[in-house]
Amino acid sequence: MHKVIYDTDPGVDDAMALLFLHRHPEIDVIGITTVFGNASVETTTRNALFLKREWDIQAPVAKGASVTIDAARAEREWPAMVHGDNGLGNIEVPHTIDLPLDPRPAHRFIIDTVRANPGEVRLVAVGRMTNLAMALKEDPEIAGLVKDVVIMGGNFYVPGNVSPVAEANIHGDPEAADIVMTAPWKVVVIGLDVTSITTMRRSYLGAMAAKGDAAVKLLDGLSQHYIDFYSHAVDDGMMVHDSCAAVYLVAPELFTTITGAVRVVCGGIADGQTVIKPDGRRFPPGDWDGLPSQIVATGIESEKVIDLIRDTLLRA
């Protein structure tokens, strides 16, 4: 069993990935930590509790960061045009959910859980990397105790989605992302190079909902606004960004990867750009030297990934 802490900012594609993690027989979700991004951290935490309740997920939820690790960064408007005003596609969600939160802040929950399960925990982070960076700053030794970190974020050989060079999760807190990429732990970066070509059509999701239970029907309902948003880029469907990172946990053979040190640009017109120095390439001395070699996905078997998502979500 893969012991997983899911660091998330639900978020429509976050919700699909959560249901995948919850239903895959080889995955044990031992914690859900929330972060600001697709909405405020108050809203993403409420959404995580709502999905926990609706989908009968036993994992505790811990509320995380509400601002970037560099507090001087100005916050941008929440991407309501993508995920809806409430982060879940504008479906009806109660203002409050009568479930308790873990009393610890998310970064402390991560530290304590990793220390209680040395060498076993896989961190799956599909929002801004702020909670992970805060955990590293408070307790750097956890880098040697985590099994690996699988993130949805970044772009290397394709354009960004919030600027010509930057992807949203990284662009939302570049300093935190650079801390995470350069720490001495194993990071797998599942970015736009693979997620932007992995799409699920509205009819495909609808067929899943028709066959599936109430959980899949809820997922179908909260995805409609998101699918509408993607009409500029996808033919009546959506990119399943975060689910790609979840799939990597159990089916890494569906991905083509390269390795190398990764840095994140912090500031200027390339703010949030992710840049890899591929292993084996020689350059003059620079800011990538002496850093850990990370794994970056550059190819994906998209149809097999989509089918694995379907088959897993239909496991009731």
Considering 24, 107, 171, 241, which one is annotated as catalytic?
241
Cis peptide before 11 (omega within 30 of 0): yes
Rounded CA separation 17/22 (Å): 9
Buried b (16+ CB within 10 A) or exposed e, 299-310: ebbbeebbebbb
The phi-psi region of residue 139 (left if phi > 0; otherwise alpha if psi is between -120 and 50; otherwise beta) is beta
User: Is 232 one of the catalytic residues?
Assistant: no
User: How far separated are the first and last CA of the chain, in Å rounded?
Assistant: 18
Question: Using CA atoms in the order 166, 172, 175, 181, what is the torsion angle rounded to 10 degrees?
Answer: -60
What the block records as the tokens of 298 is 């550059």
- Nearest residue to 49 via CA among 34, 64, 35: 34
Rounded CA separation 150/137 (Å): 19
Radius of gyration of the chain (CA): 18
CA angle at residue 54 from 18 to 203, to 5 degrees?
Answer: 65
E strand or H helix at 267 = none
Rounded CA separation 250/2 (Å): 8
Note whether 276 and 178 are within 8 A (CB).
no
Buried b (16+ CB within 10 A) or exposed e, 242-260: bbbbbbbbbeeebbebbeb
Positions annotated as catalytic residues are: 241
